């Protein structure tokens, strides 16, 4: 990576600088604490028995042999758990009028299984190995039912029904539309139709999921450590399902080995393990293994787009319309947010006067679908960018030029689009200069000179191509994140938040923002993220939101504490507040360093003593809690340019260079921004060329190991160049936009375009990703593949 250091005019003493990460000291020494590293005395281990069938009725479950195995403490099915639960289903769907089926997943399946991997029973034993031994002895009498694997086939008449109780597989339908679409098409000089599909696969954090629950009978409190991105949601679900008050359940997110979306969902295993710990009065741990991750952790999967673009003679967009079928999987584990996010992302970067895409959400007998890094946006961008490439080709326009003519111009910011968010709020593109950002990438990638390079390569028999894709991403989804800042009587600064860290430097980000105003020493700041005992409420990690929401709250809370510190110190030092500064562990008079009072002394002074007045007259304690509410999303944007070489004999597509320009507003920590982008870019390369979660026609998964499901390794990464533009958003005090998902969004579209360009001598037309070497040879020589 050749990352230019971003120009950060507003950098503070810490904010905007590449300070050392506070997470690293423990993690680099192997002293992190992930769920599986926690082993309380008396710990038991859980293994889940999972359905081998994509669809089957359960006639009976026989666990006598399993229960008799030495070392086994319990084999639990829904029959045993049900009496202790207020509901045997996980009702987690986000609100939407679009649902046509109620597909809440059961805590454990008892009557019907609807995907391979659905949990049917749990074994609790002395060791995981014994639990797995016993699970193999549980006999489930399955009556296999017809299964549906493909979301398009699922909506055809006569298709097998994914849930035997349902009338059809249409789980939801909704349409996103504005403007006079059909009128625009009726008179448009040019119309371009495409059938496109994109497949994304799994998240595959290197740490799979995990839950550890311990019930303390002394204070009747359940503590649940979970590798979740949303601890407060998990607590609410556990309280609801187990009928417990909030103070009776503490959910802790320890170190998390990557999230990438699926860990934001509440899963059956979390409540089963928690309940098992209560029932057995022993701590119980379940660690998902990789085989389970392939069949039990949510994925984000296929969409088929039939879309049409109308333009005028100069390639200016007049309207977009079409349909999209979305694979929902077997249950509603989150909602219709992924298809909605996909379609919303489609027009966002461009001036699209009229738009209508109808979505059909199809239930299938596969792992439920919920957001994976990008959350639908790569699909929407793919659809738009493929249409623009098609239009450019047919109108004989440069592919960058057609984009220049249609990108939302910088001078129209803020640009109110006719789109609405899932919460019904208007989408207003708040800031940025999309054409300039694209120009940066094109220039750095040598776009204009590429045809010359391409001709020279072709003369040597080498097929090279270039492609460009733009994205605009809604980041920082509100409404709030809780952050409290408190100075303890020891002088230590404690920051507690409802945000949850899963590897994206959340602790560093909060420590930076707080220390910026409270002495500049991050080592004095202790951040507690992802602990419901430390923060009364929280939303958690998703939607590239934590820096925006938690960062804004931390900033505001730190300023309030600072204000009080200076006020109290002014009284103690008999100085004017304006003459004071906080440096390290003390407040001192500017220019008179020996005139100072420590933060500890101030904290003690305002801690109060019985019968004495609190100095400063502003009440006790040095604490401030903030939940800065930001409903509008901050829109980040960027451009990816990929240059590829295709070996026409083997079908290998090698990325020669990837240039990525982006604008996420101010960067709190430039190096972390680059790190987030690079991870996303690697994920995008995987989506474009490598990652393919395969199912056969009976919905049996066929890529179930990391030897079959290919994650990008160091040797597949191309040279990447990242370019930064900074248009601070007015929507939050820090001027920042989220960046956790950006990298993944435009990369599949840019690579697909580059491959199509490289294969132009063969008149190949790329309409889907991932593209394997076999797919590419089939594009070159369709007769051979037929």
Partner 1 sequence: MSTRRIALTVNGTRHEAEAPVRQHLGDFLRGTLGLTGTHLGCEHGVCGACTVLLDGRAIRACLVLAVQAEDRAVTTVEGLAPSPEALHPLQAAFCANHGLQCGFCTPGMLTTLEEFLRDCPDPTEEEVRVAISGNLCRCTGYDSIVAATMEAARAMREAAA
Partner 2 sequence: MKAAPFAYHDPRSVEEALHLLATLENARLLAGGQSLMPMLNMRVAFPDHLIDLNRVEGLAGVTAEGGALRIGAMTRQRDIEESPLVRAHLPLMSEALTHVGHRQTRNRGTIGGSLCNLDPSAELVAVATALDAVLEVQGPSGARDLSIHELPLGFMTPSLAPEEMLTAIRIPLPPAGHGAAFEEFARRHGDYAITSAAAVLVLEGGRIARASLTLGGVGAGPLRLRSAEAALAGQAPSEALLREAAAACGSIDAMSDPQAPAWYRRRLAATLARRALTAAASRATTPARQGGLA
Residues that bind partner 1 (CB under 8 A): 1, 20-21, 23-25, 27-34, 36-37, 39, 127, 129, 203-208, 255-258, 260, 289-291, 502-505, 671-672, 674-675, 678-683, 705-707, 711, 713-715, 717, 720, 743
Instruction: Pick one of 39, 68, 129, 180: the residue that binds partner 2 (CB under 8 A).
Output: 129
Least distance CB 697 / partner 2 (angstroms): 12
Are the C-beta atoms of 546 and 481 separated by less than 8 Å?
yes
Q: Between 34 and 178, whose beta carbon lies closer to partner 1?
A: 34
Q: Which of the stretches 13-21, 128-136, 177-185, 441-449 binds partner 2 when contact is defined by CB under 8 A?
A: 128-136
Provide the 3-class DSSP secondary structure of residue 65: helix
Q: Between 258 and 418, whose beta carbon lies closer to partner 1?
A: 258
Binds 777: which of partner 1, partner 2, none (CB < 5-8 Å by kind): partner 2
Spatial separation of the C-alpha atoms in residues 538 and 519, rounded to whole Å: 27
Q: Copy the structure tokens of residue 188.
A: 């448009």
> How many Cβ atoms are within 10 Å of 384's Cβ, its own excluded?
29
If binding is defined by CB under 8 A, does position 133 make contact with partner 2?
yes
Q: Between 253 and 332, whose beta carbon lies closer to partner 1?
A: 253
Binds 536: which of partner 2, partner 1, none (CB < 5-8 Å by kind): none
Name the E strands within 145-218. 170-178, 190-198, 210-216
Least distance CB 742 / partner 2 (angstroms): 25
Binds 6: which of partner 2, partner 1, none (CB < 5-8 Å by kind): none
If binding is defined by CB under 8 A, does position 777 make contact with partner 2?
yes
Least distance CB 463 / partner 1 (angstroms): 23
Helices (H) and strands (E) in the chain — how many of each? 21, 31
Binds 17: which of partner 2, partner 1, none (CB < 5-8 Å by kind): none
Instruction: Pick one of 11, 414, 716, 762: the residue that binds partner 2 (CB under 8 A).
Output: 716
Are the C-beta atoms of 734 and 668 separated by less than 8 Å?
yes
If binding is defined by CB under 8 A, does position 653 make contact with partner 2?
no
Are the C-beta atoms of 208 and 292 separated by less than 8 Å?
yes
Binds 255: which of partner 1, partner 2, none (CB < 5-8 Å by kind): partner 1
Q: Between 136 and 153, whose beta carbon lies closer to partner 2?
A: 136
Q: Copy the structure tokens of residue 312.
A: 């005028």
> How many Cβ atoms are within 10 Å of 573's Cβ, its own excluded?
20
Name the E strands within 574-703. 580-583, 586-589, 592-598, 623-626, 634-646, 653-663
Least distance CB 771 / partner 2 (angstroms): 12
Binds 258: which of partner 1, partner 2, none (CB < 5-8 Å by kind): partner 1
Q: Which of the stretches 126-134, 240-248, 567-575, 669-677 binds partner 2 when contact is defined by CB under 8 A?
A: 126-134
- Among residue numbers 680 through 709, which ones bind partner 2 (CB under 8 A)? 690, 694, 702-703, 705, 707-708
- Which H or E run contains 449? none
Within 13 Å and on the Cβ side, how many CA atoms surround 83? 4
Total residues contacting partner 2 (rule CB under 8 A)? Answer: 32
> Cα 656 from chain centroid?
28
Spatial separation of the C-alpha atoms in residues 330 and 145, rounded to whole Å: 14
Q: Between 256 and 780, whose beta carbon lies closer to partner 2?
A: 780
| Long-range contacts (CB closer than 8 Å, 24 or more residues apart) made by 604-610 | 604/489, 605/568, 605/572, 606/564, 606/568, 607/489
Instruction: Pick one of 71, 418, 608, 773: the residue that binds partner 2 (CB under 8 A).
Output: 773
- Running DSSP on this structure, what letter comes out for residue 262? G
Least distance CB 289 / partner 2 (angstroms): 4
Spatial separation of the C-alpha atoms in residues 185 and 309, rounded to whole Å: 8
Least distance CB 551 / partner 1 (angstroms): 17
Are the C-beta atoms of 623 and 485 separated by less than 8 Å?
yes
If binding is defined by CB under 8 A, does position 462 make contact with partner 2?
no
Spatial separation of the C-alpha atoms in residues 492 and 526, rounded to whole Å: 7
Q: Which of 301, 202, 302, 310 is nearest to 259 (CA)?
A: 202
Instruction: Pick one of 291, 416, 456, 607: the residue that binds partner 2 (CB under 8 A).
Output: 291
- Running DSSP on this structure, what letter comes out for residue 255? B
> How many Cβ atoms are within 10 Å of 156's Cβ, its own excluded?
11
Least distance CB 325 / partner 2 (angstroms): 23
Binds 179: which of partner 2, partner 1, none (CB < 5-8 Å by kind): none
Q: Between 128 and 236, whose beta carbon lies closer to partner 2?
A: 128
Instruction: Pick one of 65, 98, 136, 600: the residue that binds partner 2 (CB under 8 A).
Output: 136
Binds 502: which of partner 1, partner 2, none (CB < 5-8 Å by kind): partner 1
- Which H or E run contains 379? helix 377-395
Spatial separation of the C-alpha atoms in residues 74 and 653, rounded to whole Å: 52
If binding is defined by CB under 8 A, does position 650 make contact with partner 2?
yes
Contacts of 235 (CB under 8 A, 6+ apart): 224, 246, 249, 250, 251, 532
Least distance CB 774 / partner 2 (angstroms): 5
If binding is defined by CB under 8 A, does position 57 make contact with partner 2?
no
Are the C-beta atoms of 695 and 327 separated by less than 8 Å?
no
> Cα 742 from chain centroid?
10
Least distance CB 291 / partner 1 (angstroms): 8
Q: What does the per-residue mask of binding to partner 2 show for 271-290, with x meaning CB under 8 A?
A: ------------------xx
Q: Copy the structure tokens of residue 451.
A: 């045809």
Provide the 3-class DSSP secondary structure of residue 652: coil
- Among residue numbers 192 through 251, which ones bind partner 2 (CB under 8 A)? none
Q: Between 607 and 774, whose beta carbon lies closer to partner 2?
A: 774
Spatial separation of the C-alpha atoms in residues 333 and 267, rounded to whole Å: 8
Spatial separation of the C-alpha atoms in residues 754 and 511, rounded to whole Å: 42
If binding is defined by CB under 8 A, does position 1 make contact with partner 2?
no
Task: Tell me which residues touch partner 2 (CB under 8 A).
Answer: 127-129, 132-133, 136, 289-292, 649-652, 690, 694, 702-703, 705, 707-708, 710, 712-713, 715-716, 772-774, 777, 784-785
């Amino acid at each position: 990576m050749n990352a230019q250091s971003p120009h950060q005019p507003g950098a503070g003493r810490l904010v905007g600088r590449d300070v050392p990460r506070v997470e690293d000291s423990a993690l680099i020494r192997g002293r992190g604490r992930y769920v599986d590293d926690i082993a309380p005395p008396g710990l038991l281990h859980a293994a889940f028995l999972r359905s081998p069938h994509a669809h089957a009725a359960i006639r009976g479950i026989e666990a006598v042999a399993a229960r008799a195995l030495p070392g086994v403490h319990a084999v639990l099915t829904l029959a045993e758990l049900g009496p202790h639960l207020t509901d045997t289903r996980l009702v987690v769907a986000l609100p939407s009028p679009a649902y046509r089926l109620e597909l809440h997943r059961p805590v454990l399946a008892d009557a019907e299984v609807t995907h391979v991997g659905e949990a049917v029973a749990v074994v609790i034993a002395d060791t995981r190995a014994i639990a797995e031994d016993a699970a193999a002895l549980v006999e489930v009498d399955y009556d296999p039912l017809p299964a549906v694997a493909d979301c398009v086939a699922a909506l055809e008449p006569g298709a097998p029904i994914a849930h035997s109780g349902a009338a059809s597989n249409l789980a939801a339908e909704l349409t996103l539309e504005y403007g006079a679409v059909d009128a625009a098409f009726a008179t448009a000089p040019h119309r371009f139709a495409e059938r496109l599909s994109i497949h994304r696969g799994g998240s595959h954090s290197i740490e799979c999921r995990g839950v550890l629950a311990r019930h303390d009978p002394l204070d009747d409190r359940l503590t649940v450590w979970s590798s979740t991105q949303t601890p407060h949601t998990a607590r609410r679900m556990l309280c609801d399902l187990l009928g417990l008050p909030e103070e009776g359940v503490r959910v802790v997110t320890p170190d998390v080995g990557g999230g990438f979306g699926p860990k934001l969902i509440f899963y059956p295993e979390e409540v089963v393990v928690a309940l098992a710990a209560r029932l057995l009065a022993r701590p119980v741990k379940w660690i998902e293994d990789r085989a389970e991750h392939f069949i039990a952790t949510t994925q984000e999967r296929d969409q088929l787009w039939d879309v049409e673009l109308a333009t005028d003679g100069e390639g200016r967009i007049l309207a977009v319309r079409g349909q999209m079928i979305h694979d929902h999987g077997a249950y509603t584990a989150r909602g219709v947010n992924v298809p909605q996010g996909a379609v919303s992302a489609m027009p966002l970067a461009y001036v699209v006067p009229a738009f209508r895409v109808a979505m059909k959400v199809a239930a299938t007998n596969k792992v439920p679908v919920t957001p994976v890094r990008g959350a639908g946006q790569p699909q929407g961008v793919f659809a738009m960018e493929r249409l623009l490439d098609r239009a450019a080709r047919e109108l004989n326009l440069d592919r960058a030029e057609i984009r220049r003519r249609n990108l939302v111009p910088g001078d129209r910011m803020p640009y109110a689009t006719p789109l609405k968010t899932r919460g019904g709020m208007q989408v207003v593109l708040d800031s940025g200069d999309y054409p300039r950002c694209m120009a940066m990438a094109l220039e750095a990638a040598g776009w204009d000179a590429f045809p010359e390079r391409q001709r020279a390569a072709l003369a040597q028999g080498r097929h090279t191509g270039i492609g460009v894709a733009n994205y605009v991403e809604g980041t920082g989804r509100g409404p709030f994140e809780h952050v409290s800042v408190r100075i303890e009587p020891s002088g230590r600064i404690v920051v507690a938040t409802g945000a949850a860290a899963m590897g994206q430097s959340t602790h560093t980000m909060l420590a930076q923002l707080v220390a910026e105003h409270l002495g500049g020493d991050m080592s004095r700041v202790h951040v507690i993220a992802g602990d419901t005992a430390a923060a009364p409420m929280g939303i958690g990690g998703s939607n590239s939101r934590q820096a925006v929401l938690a960062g804004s709250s931390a900033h505001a809370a730190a300023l309030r504490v600072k204000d009080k510190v200076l006020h109290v110190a002014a009284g103690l030092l008999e100085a004017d507040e304006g003459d004071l500064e906080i440096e390290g562990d003390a407040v001192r008079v500017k220019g008179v360093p020996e005139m100072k009072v420590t933060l500890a002394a101030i904290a003690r002074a305002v801690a109060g003593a019985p019968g004495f007045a609190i100095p400063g007259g502003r009440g006790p304690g040095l604490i401030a809690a903030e939940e800065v509410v930001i409903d509008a999303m901050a829109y980040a944007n960027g451009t990816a340019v990929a240059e590829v070489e295709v070996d026409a004999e083997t079908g290998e597509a090698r990325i020669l260079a990837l240039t990525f320009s982006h604008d996420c507003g101010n960067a709190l920590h430039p190096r972390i921004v680059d790190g987030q982008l690079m991870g996303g870019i690697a994920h995008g390369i995987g989506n474009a060329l490598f990652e393919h979660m395969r199912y056969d026609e009976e919905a049996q998964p066929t890529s179930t190991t990391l030897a079959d499901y290919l994650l990008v390794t160091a040797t597949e990464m191309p040279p990447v160049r990242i370019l930064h533009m900074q248009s601070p958003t007015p929507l939050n005090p820090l001027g920042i936009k989220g960046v956790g998902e950006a990298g993944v969004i435009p990369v599949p579209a840019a690579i697909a375009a580059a491959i199509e360009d490289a294969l132009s001598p063969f008149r190949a037309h790329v309409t889907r990703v991932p593209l394997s070497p076999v797919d590419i040879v089939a594009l070159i020589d369709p007769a051979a593949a037929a």
